[in-house]
Structure formats: structure tokens, C-alpha cells
Copies of this chain bind each other. A is one copy, B any other.
Amino acid sequence: MSVSIIGTYHSKVGRLEESIYDLLVKAGKGALEDAGIEPGEIGGIWIGNYSAGGFNNQEHLAPYAPNIHPDLRFKPATRVENACASGSAAIEAAKNAIEAGEIKFALVIGVEKMTTLDTKGFTKVLAMASYWPDEGAKGMTFPGLFAEYAKGYMERYGFSHEQLRTMLAKVSAKNHTNALANPLAQMPLKITYEEILNMPDEKNPMIAPPLRLYDCSLVSDGAAALVLTSTEKAKTLKDEVVEISALSHTTDYLAISKRANWEFTAGKKAIQKAYQIAGITVNDLDFAEVHDCFTIAEILAYEAMGLAADGEGWKLLDDGTVYVDGKLPVNVSGGLKAKGHPVGATGASMAVLATRQLLDKAIGHQIKDAEIGLTFNIGGSAASNYAMVFKRIK
């Protein structure tokens, strides 16, 4: 059975006034309103959230769902967590419930409220998504883990430090610039990669060598929500719907030391499997929203997508492929780097962005005649990996 999206909501991303409870409720209400169905028709609610326990002292977030609408009281509500891919995990669980015939309509909400903690606090909470005994407990942070990816990339392909710095700055500048068109983005910036490279240390400090501040995604509050149903049902309700043509999920070892190399090995498998399920190749994609939690991750994603050969992802930043007007624009929303990264919301955010793009109602840059889009969302140091293909259906 094919599953489609009939309603979406996306909050502003940034340091927001709203509590996690308010973000959850607004997102749920927004998606229901957009779907145009009665709340009582919802068969189940899935909440994607990384660590409301760590950020907000609130585990067991799912039963807050009845606060969206009294008709959701007594409906099954479930929290799903796979680190920064929790939003995608919630979509997967909801899609399975629909395909199983257990429910007709699902409400999926990705939500995170991270700005409650200071730098030390959120760094620790995020580090709990690594393999704690060998990584977090030993002082390893997420910038540190992705710095390992960056160093491994440099070493394997023989890039100089300057070459690496340049390609990473290009990702950063592209995404900050893309965010200028996105009214919900946290950090839109008119900036060039040369400006980033030439910044003094105090403006672009080293976070975990070789990664600097401008290589890191943002600490954000935000929420995104979707209403899902069978494609068959969706077509009876909407003139145009967006189908989840593929959802592929792979897992690699939690501990980065257990993996053979510094590629997105499991991520590549997830994306290639998604293409196969959807019956497409990378050439069929009109855009992609990928997990640029750190700039190096976007380059590794290009290669996992098969958009560039291994070690050649950087070329796409030079030949124009991945820019808004390129052959395959990547992160036109601004991505995690500039749209922001409320971690448990991110997978749902990507799905909302893809859906709106395909409905010709983009949040930010509209890709003309977009028909097929990809989202690629990872959790931890790429231990959890989700690839989804979205198609517009008339």
C-alpha cells in the first residue's frame, strides 16, 4: 500500500518563546488544519523527539497529544527516538501502521526544544546520541565525531587542509545563502565562501579541528508535522498529493570505532535502496534535503547519493550542480546549517519541506516543476539512516 501526505506544518526555527508543549500542540493543530480532516479521524499519533528528557525534563511526551484536540484523547500515541533521525523514525512508524491497516490517518510530529540548556548542557545531551562509554563519557562531542569524518576524508583522498576548508566553506555559504529565501530559517546570511575563509578566529572559532563554527549546524527549537493516509484515500481528499514512494532505514554500529571507514556506509545503502524501491535513479531527483549537521556531512551525502563519485563531492560545489539553479539543488531550505536543526524535528521538517516543494508551495526557494525529491536524515554519527523519496501525484 502506498502512503501519502495530505497536511503539513512547519514552525519557525530558532530560539523560540514557545515551550516544547506549545510547539507540539501548534504543530499538530497546523497539520490537521492543513489536511482538512476532523481530529477524531486520526487513528494514531507518532511523536519524533530526541531528548525532551535531557532538554526539558520530560520523557513520555506522546500523551501530550490529546492537548492538541480533545478528540485525540484515547487514540494511540507513541514517541519514537533515533537521535537526530527521530522525525523520520516517527514517519516510518506511522506509515507502517497505515500499511498494516491498523489506522486510516496518522498524525506525525517532530519536535525539539534545545535552547533551554547552556553550551555545556546541550553538548552533553547531544553526546548521549554517541556510544556513551567510549565516546561521550570520554569527552567526545558531535563536532568531534564529525571532525573525525573530515580528517578521514582528507586523508583518504589526499586533500590539503586548505582544500578541505574551501569545500566546507562552500557548503556553509550555499546553505546560509539559501536560507535567505526561507521565512522560517534560523540563520539566513548573505555570505560568500571567501568571506567565511577569511573570517578572523574570533568570528569563526575552531570547534573541533578542522571544523569551525561555520561548519556546525545550529542549536534550535522547532517542530514540523504531517498528516499521512493511504494514497488511495489521499486522492479522494486533495487534487494534488505527495506520495512517500520509498522509505528506507539502515543502521550501522553505534560506536564509530566498530565501522570500517569514514564514509556514510549505511547511509549509502539506505539511499540506494530508496531509489530501488521508488524505481528511480539519482538523475530523476529534482531536489534533495540532506543531513548537513556539519558541512562535511553534506559532501559525504552527495557521494552516498551517487551524485558524485567517492572523493569527488566537492566538484558539485564548483560546477554548480547543487545550487538553487543547478541540476540537483541540495538544501534549498538552508539545511540544518542555516534553517536550523531542532534535532528530533529534523526528519519531519525535511519531509514537510519536500512535500511543500512538490506541491509548488515551497517554504523558501521553489524549484520549478519539481516532481521527485529525496530526504536523507541521519541519527548520531550516522548510525541511524533514513532515506525517503517523495513524488507528486496528480
Contacts and interface: CB of A to CB of B under 8 A. Distances in A.
Nearest to A383: B63
Given A66-B251, A129-B59, A89 B83 contact: no
Residue among A96, A102, A258 with most chain B CB within 10 A: A96
Interface in A363-382: 379-380
Contacts of A59: 50-51, 53-54, 81, 83, 125, 128-129
14 contacts: A1-B100, A50-B60, A54-B59, A56-B132, A58-B128, A60-B380, A63-B252, A73-B252, A73-B266, A76-B250, A79-B81, A96-B99, A96-B100, A99-B99
A269 interface: yes
Given A53-B54, A128-B57, A252 B380 contact: no
Report which residue of A45, A100, A249, A269 has the largest number of chain B beta carbons within 10 angstroms of its beta carbon: A100
B136 A60 contact: no
A62 interface: yes
A92 B93 CA distance: 10
A254 interface: yes
A60 B92 contact: no
Contacts of A57: 128, 132, 136-137
Nearest to A19: B133
A72 B251 CA distance: 8
B89 A78 contact: yes
B63 A380 contact: yes
What's the number of copies of this chain in the assembled complex?
A: 2
A175 interface: no
A104 to B, nearest CB: 14
Interface residues of A, number: 66
Given A45-B251, A78-B93, 16 more contacts: A19-B133, A21-B133, A53-B54, A53-B125, A56-B132, A57-B136, A58-B128, A63-B379, A63-B380, A66-B251, A73-B266, A76-B251, A93-B93, A96-B99, A96-B102, A98-B100
A82 interface: yes
Interface of A: 1, 19, 21, 44-45, 50-51, 53-54, 56-67, 72-83, 89, 92-93, 95-102, 125, 128-133, 136-137, 249-254, 258, 266, 269, 379-380, 383-384
Contact of A78 (B72, B73, B92): B92
A238 to B, nearest CB: 23
A321 B380 CA distance: 50
A104 B367 CA distance: 39
A193 B149 CA distance: 62
Contact of A252 (B51, B58, B66, B78): B66
A82 B49 CA distance: 12
Contact of A384 (B60, B102, B249, B383): B60
A336 to B, nearest CB: 17
B53 A128 contact: yes
A82 to B, nearest CB: 6
What 8 A-B pairs are tightest by C-beta distance, nearest first? A99-B100, A63-B383, A76-B249, A60-B83, A63-B254, A60-B129, A77-B251, A96-B96
Nearest to A67: B253
B76 A379 contact: no
A327 B137 CA distance: 52
